[in-house]
Amino acid sequence: MLYVHIPYCHHKCSYCGFYSVAGHRDTQDYVDALCCELKIRRTDKPLKTIYFGGGTPSLLPVRQLEQIILTIRDNYNLSQLEEVTLEANPENLTPQYLDEIARFGLFNRLSVGVQSFVDVELKMLNRVHSRQQASDAIRSAANAGFTNVSIDLIMGLPLPYRVGLQNSLTVLDELLPLGVIRHLSCYELTVEQGTILDRQLQMGRLIMPNDEIVVSDYEVLREWCKTRGFEQYEVSNYCQPGWRSRHNSRYWNRTPYIGAGAAAHSFEGLSRRWNVSDIERYIAGAKVGDIPYEEEILSAADAYNEYVMTALRTIEGIDKAMVPEEYRSVLSKSIQFALKEGLVEETHTHYRPTTEGLLKADGIAARLFV
């Protein structure tokens, strides 16, 4: 697994707490540095999935994307490659851009950051694109031959500009006949400290919705998915049968991965490392073959807690065979409350969250931590 991080954005969305640099920049030095890192960390182990995430990877000029792709092709074993995703924002997905990236013959999945199909909500979120641009982008992706498109939406948007998730789903209905929307990621809006949204809330310009409204968004979404044949396979992820995100599913299975780029995280089974969250320092480090990063060795308890937290967010739940021997009896006692309250069901092999349990997955996991 390889994750490639592009930490640039057109401008900052109001809710965004990720590390990304906004505004028009020359990204060539960064791409050169990224290619240096990809060479330094080359491996013969076959890659099954690659994910270009950000930031906004679709902001890169086509020739720079091509430079990264050529570096990956020259340094990694792609003989078992199953899925290569490009995260993209609608305003970048012009017919010409899509035709050019389709010609690389590498990307077989697009993850489009739509967030909402309602203009007033998009404006509130400080997104660049409009509803029309989002619809056009998906039509253009289908025309360019992409057959696996994932759409990102946000639920639980603030008042008074909130129109509601149903309106976005109605637009999505118009696009479904294209036959390319296979996957939906729908996250509840969270307020990160220091973001524009945080300030707007403090000034009283926006008001977060109460739990009832959020739960009703969730219900609307689940009903829409059910009637359109999308299965929920993780708290925030839905897909047509057979179209799960293979890359993200591997994160949840604790598969080791390489993360390249400024601020990118890597997981090596027993440790996690994260590159410096500073583009200038990242570029300077790459030039001398020494990219600054920090590393954390995971204790057995850390690994157990991480597994419980991610597994409970999936419909499969906790695989007992994945729980280290030393924690099995601890888990069988601590999870009793969730079994009694109908939040989790026990099978021979798994502890599986119920529908209600999925909604409360993070809270349940917190009570299982050691």
User: Least distance from C-beta 10 to ligand SF4, angstroms?
Assistant: 7
**The one segment of 51-59, 202-210, 253-261, 276-284 that binds ligand SF4 by CB under 6 A:** 51-59
By beta-carbon proximity to ligand SF4, the closer residue of 154 and 235 is 154
Q: % helix / strand / coil in the chain, to the nearest 5?
A: 45, 20, 35
CA-based nearest residue to 107, from 55, 75, 68: 68
When the beta carbons of 13 and 155 are compared against ligand SF4, the nearer one is 13
The binding track of 66-105 with respect to ligand SF4, each residue x by CB under 6 A or -, is -----------------------x----------------
- Which lies closer to ligand SF4 via its Cβ, residue 56 or residue 200? 56
Among 2, 6, 9, 276, binds ligand SF4 (CB under 6 A): 9
Helix (H, G, I), strand (E, B) or coil at 10: coil
Distance (Å, rounded) from C-alpha 241 to C-alpha 255? 22
**Which residue stretch of 54-62, 99-107, 197-205, 247-255 sits at the interface with ligand SF4 (rule: CB under 6 A)?**
54-62
Q: Tell me the one-letter amino acid at 183.
A: H
- Find residue 112's DSSP bridge partners: 88, 151
Is residue 54 close enough to count as binding ligand SF4 by CB under 6 A? Answer: yes
Q: Give the DSSP per-residue string, 203-234.
A: TTSSBPPPHHHHHHHHHHHHHHHHHTTPEEEE
- Identify which range of 14-22, 172-180, 287-295, 349-357 contacts ligand SF4 by CB under 6 A: 14-22
Scanning 5-13, 103-111, 137-145, 348-356 for contacts with ligand SF4 by CB under 6 A, the matching segment is: 5-13
Extract the tokens encoding 317.
Answer: 């739940």
13 scored as a contact of ligand SF4 (CB under 6 A): yes
Least distance to ligand SF4, CB of residue 54, Å: 6
Q: Residue 265 interacts with ligand SF4 (CB under 6 A)?
A: no
Among 2, 35, 47, 55, binds ligand SF4 (CB under 6 A): 55
Q: Binding residue for ligand SF4 (CB under 6 A) from 1, 2, 4, 16?
A: 16
In this structure, what are the phi and psi dihedrals at residue 232, rounded to the nearest 5 degrees?
-85, 120
* Contact in structure between 2 and 47 (CB atoms under 8 Å): yes
**β-sheet bridge partners, residue 231:** 239
Residue 220: Cβ within 10 Å count: 16
| Of 2, 4, 20, 257, the one binding ligand SF4 by CB under 6 A | 20
Strands (E), the chain: 2-6, 8-9, 21-22, 49-54, 83-88, 109-115, 149-155, 181-188, 231-234, 237-239, 258-260, 265-267, 271-275, 293-297, 318-319, 344-346, 350-353
Tell me the three state secondary structure of residue 161.
Answer: coil
Nearer to ligand SF4 by C-beta: 7 or 353?
7
Could you give the CA distance from residue 134 to residue 265 in angstroms, rounded to a whole number?
Answer: 29
C-alpha to C-alpha distances, 208 to 43, 168, 211, nearest whole angstrom? 46, 19, 9
Q: Which of 56, 236, 240, 314 binds ligand SF4 (CB under 6 A)?
A: 56
- Taking the least distance from each CB to ligand SF4, the nearer of 232 and 236 is 236
Of 10 and 162, CB closest to ligand SF4: 10
Are 12 and 196 within 8 A, CB to CB?
A: yes
Least gap, CB of 15 to ligand SF4 (angstroms)? 7
Q: Which stretch binds ligand SF4 (CB under 6 A): 50-58, 275-283, 344-352, 353-361?
A: 50-58
Contact residues toward ligand SF4 (CB under 6 A) are 9, 12-13, 16, 18, 20, 54-56, 89, 113
